[in-house]
Amino acid sequence: MSRDTSALHLSPFHDDDHHHHNGRNIHPPPPANRPHLESHLLPRQHPRLIPHNPPHAAPSPPLPTKPSPPAPLPTNPKRSAQIQKMRDQGNASLRSKSSPTTAQAQEAIKLYTYGIEMALGRPTWEPAQLVREEAGVLYANRAQAYMVAQMWAEGAADGETSVEMKRAENGKAWWRRGRCLCEMGRWEEAQLWVRQGLEVKGNEGELAGLLMEINAHLEK
């Protein structure tokens, strides 16, 4: 009994180009007649790896460039003048033939605060040392105004901030925080603070006198 080979077909996925069956060469169907492979089985190129321009396309024209803005000035003289004005007016509020009043101290606090905000609001391209110098002086001045108003905690905080910004050549800020700490009854903390100030300032008169006062109180 002979076998019918007319229905015999080969898989298009077979690796060989020619197949032998019963001595006959059976060629696979031409590519046009082969079943389509699933698209997800075919390798794909990642979209980020596909060039934006075809291999032989003309290069894209360069983007138009805008002229760079001029370099800003190192400092703004108008801002410097305004900061100095706030400082001078605050100092004037505390100067009086008699002792300054609480109202005068509050006015000075307001003016010094304006100056501090203007100093800290300088653009980032302006020298940081200038900001520290201006704000350091203003914080020390505001600490004095707080002391006049007997706002000891605020004065102590401003004295410390002033020292952080301007550690050397700032004996007034060292002294004012030390005095505020004493007024709040924080004598041990005041003693440590004043000793640190003397290490920085050397034998500074007001600081040395304040330390003697603190030591005498603690020895009672």
- For residue 202, what pLDDT band results from cuts at 50, 70 and 90? confident
Considering only residues 90 and 54, tell me which one the structure prediction assigns the higher pLDDT. 90
Q: Are 147 and 184 in contact (CB under 8 A)?
A: no
Q: Which helix (H) or strand (E) element contains residue 24?
A: strand 24-26
Considering only residues 44 and 219, tell me which one the structure prediction assigns the higher pLDDT. 219
Per-chain mean pLDDT for the chain: 80
Q: Which CATH superfamily is domain 77-218 in?
A: Tetratricopeptide repeat domain (1.25.40.10)
Distance (Å, whole) CA 175 – CA 183: 12
- State how beta strands 24-26 and 19-21 pair: antiparallel
- For residue 23, what pLDDT band results from cuts at 50, 70 and 90? very low
Of 29-38, 74-83, 210-219, the least confident: 29-38
Q: What is the pTM of this model?
A: 0.67
Task: Give the number of other Cβ atoms within 10 Å of residue 87's Cβ.
Answer: 20
Distance (Å, whole) CA 126 – CA 130: 8
Q: Are 21 and 8 in contact (CB under 8 A)?
A: yes
What is the distance in angstroms between the CA of the first residue and the CA of the last residue of the chain?
130
**Residue 103 scores a pLDDT above 70:** yes
Considering only residues 69 and 211, tell me which one the structure prediction assigns the higher pLDDT. 211
**Residue 39 scores a pLDDT above 70:** no
Q: Which residue has 């201006």 as its token pair?
A: 134
Task: Give the number of other Cβ atoms within 10 Å of residue 170's Cβ.
Answer: 22
Query: At 26, phi and psi to the nearest 5?
Result: -115, 115
**Residue 8 scores a pLDDT above 50:** no
Q: How many residues can be counted in the chain?
A: 220
**Tens of pLDDT, residues 157-180:** 999 999 999 998 899 999 999 999
- What does the pLDDT read at residue 58? 61
Q: Where are the domains positioned within the chain? A: 77-218
- What does the pLDDT read at residue 15? 47
Considering only residues 2 and 100, tell me which one the structure prediction assigns the higher pLDDT. 100
